[in-house]
Amino acid sequence: MNQTYEGMAANRWKWWWLALTWTIWKHRNNVVFSNNNFNANKMMDEAVFLLWSWLKYLEKGFTTHYNQWYSNLRPGFHISSR
């Protein structure tokens, strides 16, 4: 695997960590300060959408449709050099 693609995969993992952490923090605040119920599925959906949104902006050539990205996440973190 080319270093460029390895770096891109590593960056996606970093962006995933940030998206998930940010989403957890927002949901935590909604539970604590707004008395909302915790919904793990909603939180994960929001984190996946946030990551997809960031990748659309950050990666030149990222054209994966959200539905395709959401239904098939694993390959999104293993980028091939094709």
Q: pLDDT tens-digit profile of 19-34? A: 999 999 999 999 999 9
Q: How many residues does the chain have?
A: 82
pLDDT at 30 (0 to 100) = 96
Total-model pTM:
0.83
DSSP 36-78: PPP-HHHHHHHHHHHHHHHHHHHSTT----HHHHHH-HHHHTS
Phi and psi (nearest 5°) for 67?
Answer: -60, -40
